[in-house]
Amino acid sequence: MITATVETRENYLTHEYGVKSWLLTQDHKRIALLYLGAISFFFFLGGIFATVIRLELLTPPGDLVSAQTYNKLFSLHGIIMVFLFLVPSIPATLGNFLVPMMIGAKDLAFPKLNLLSWYIFMVGGAFVLYAMLVGGVDTGWTFYVPFSTSYANTYVIMTGLGIFIAGFSSILTGLNFIVTIHRMRAPGLTWFRLPLFIWSMYATSIIQVLGTPVIAVTLLLVVLERGFHLGIFDPALGGDPVLFQHLFWFYSHPAVYIMVLPGMGVISEIVSVYSRKKVFGYKFVAFSSVAIAILSFLVWGHHMFVSSQSVYASMVFSFLSFLVAVPSAIKVFNWTATLYKSSISYHTPMLYAFGFIGLFTIGGLTGTFLATLGFDVHVTDTYFVVAHFHYIMVGGTMMAYLGGLHYWWPKMTGRMYPELWARLSALVIFLGFNLTFFPQFIMGYLVMPRRYHAYPGEFQVYHVLSTAGASVLAVGYLIPAVYLIWSLRYGNLAPDNPWEASGLEWQTTSPPPPENFDITPVVNHEAYDYSILEEMKVG
Partner 1 sequence: MNPSLQLVPEQASATAVHLDHLTLYLLIIAAIFSTLIFALIFFFAIKYRRRSNHERPVEVHGALTLEIIWTVVPFILMMVMFVWGVNVFFEMSRPPDDAMNVYVVGKQWMWKTQHLEGQREINELHVPLGRPVKLTMTSEDVIHSFYMPAFRVKFDVLPGKYTTAWFNPTKAGKYHLFCAEYCGTLHSGMIGWIYVMEPAEYERWLAGGPGGESLASRGEQLFQYLACANCHRTDKPGRCPNLQGVFGTQERLTTGETVKVDEAYLRESILNPSAKIVAGYQNIMPSFQGQVTEEDLLQLMEYIKSLGKPTAAGGGAAASAPAGRGAAPARKNR
Near partner 1 in 341-400, by CB under 8 A: 341-346, 354, 357-358, 361-362, 365-366, 368-369, 371-378, 380-382
Rounded distance between C-alpha atoms, residue 479 and residue 333, angstroms: 32
Rounded distance between C-alpha atoms, residue 297 and residue 257, angstroms: 10
Rounded distance between C-alpha atoms, residue 88 and residue 114, angstroms: 13
Query: Which residue in 188, 244, 180 sits closest to 214, CA to CA?
Result: 244
Rounded distance between C-alpha atoms, residue 236 and residue 52, angstroms: 36
Cβ 323 to partner 1 shortest distance, Å: 8
- For partner 1, the closer of residues 269 and 376 by Cβ is 376
Query: Which residue in 376, 401, 265 sits closest to 321, CA to CA?
Result: 376
Distances (CA, A) of 93 to 98, 308, 409, 495: 8, 40, 11, 21
Amino acid at 98: L
Cβ 42 to partner 1 shortest distance, Å: 23
- For partner 1, the closer of residues 419 and 458 by Cβ is 458
DSSP class of residue 398 equals I
Cβ 330 to partner 1 shortest distance, Å: 6
Spell out, one character per residue from 267 to 286, where the chain touches partner 1: x when CB under 8 A holds, - when not.
--------xxxx-xxxxx--
Rounded distance between C-alpha atoms, residue 140 and residue 158, angstroms: 14
Cβ 90 to partner 1 shortest distance, Å: 22
- Give me the DSSP letters along 67-122: HHHHHHHHHHHHHIIIIIIIHHIIIIIIIHHHHHHHTT-SS-S-HHHHHHHHHHHH
Spell out, one character per residue from 494 to 523, where the chain touches partner 1: x when CB under 8 A holds, - when not.
------------------------------
Cβ 87 to partner 1 shortest distance, Å: 22
Per the document, the length of the chain is 539
Does position 319 interact with partner 1 (CB under 8 A)? The reply is: yes
Spell out, one character per residue from 23 to 62, where the chain touches partner 1: x when CB under 8 A holds, - when not.
---------------------------------------x
Does position 146 interact with partner 1 (CB under 8 A)? The reply is: yes
Which residues from 206-265 bind partner 1, rule CB under 8 A? 234-236, 241-242
The angle subtended at Cα 199 by Cα 197 and Cα 201, nearest 5°, is: 70
- For partner 1, the closer of residues 236 and 481 by Cβ is 236
- For partner 1, the closer of residues 168 and 462 by Cβ is 462
Cβ 402 to partner 1 shortest distance, Å: 19
| Site stretch for partner 1 (CB under 8 A), options 112-120, 340-348, 399-407, 490-498 | 340-348
Instruction: Choose, by CB under 8 A, the member of 3, 51, 59, 307 that binds partner 1.
Output: 307
Spell out, one character per residue from 420 to 459, where the chain touches partner 1: x when CB under 8 A holds, - when not.
----------------------x--xxx-xxxxxxxxxx-
Spell out, one character per residue from 120 to 139, where the chain touches partner 1: x when CB under 8 A holds, - when not.
------------------x-
Instruction: Choose, by CB under 8 A, the member of 209, 339, 478, 532 that binds partner 1.
Output: 339
Within a 13 Å sphere around the CA of 394, how many CA atoms are in the beta-carbon half?
A: 26
Query: Which residue in 371, 92, 117 sits closest to 258, CA to CA?
Result: 92
Cβ 382 to partner 1 shortest distance, Å: 7
Report whether 204 contacts 261 (CB < 8 A). yes
- For partner 1, the closer of residues 106 and 276 by Cβ is 276
Within 241-281, residue ranges assigned H as helices are: 241-275
Rounded distance between C-alpha atoms, residue 353 and residue 343, angstroms: 15
Instruction: Choose, by CB under 8 A, the member of 114, 205, 252, 318 that binds partner 1.
Output: 318
DSSP class of residue 454 equals S
Cβ 277 to partner 1 shortest distance, Å: 6
What residues does 415 pair with on adjacent strands?
493
- For partner 1, the closer of residues 74 and 477 by Cβ is 74
- For partner 1, the closer of residues 99 and 350 by Cβ is 350
Instruction: Give burial (CB, 10 Å; 0-12/13-18/19+) of 190.
Output: exposed
Cβ 414 to partner 1 shortest distance, Å: 23
| Site stretch for partner 1 (CB under 8 A), options 103-111, 215-223, 224-232, 301-309 | 301-309
- For partner 1, the closer of residues 154 and 508 by Cβ is 154
Distances (CA, A) of 279 to 104, 257, 259, 282: 21, 21, 22, 6
Which residues from 149-178 bind partner 1, rule CB under 8 A? 150-152
Cβ 333 to partner 1 shortest distance, Å: 4
Report whether 81 contacts 390 (CB < 8 A). no
Report whether 267 contacts 356 (CB < 8 A). yes
Cβ 497 to partner 1 shortest distance, Å: 13
Spell out, one character per residue from 57 to 76, where the chain touches partner 1: x when CB under 8 A holds, - when not.
-----x----xx--x-----
Query: Which residue in 476, 464, 457 sits closest to 436, CA to CA?
Result: 464
Rounded distance between C-alpha atoms, residue 143 and residue 137, angstroms: 10
Cβ 21 to partner 1 shortest distance, Å: 39
Cβ 434 to partner 1 shortest distance, Å: 12
- Number of residues this chain uses to bind partner 1 (CB under 8 A): 92
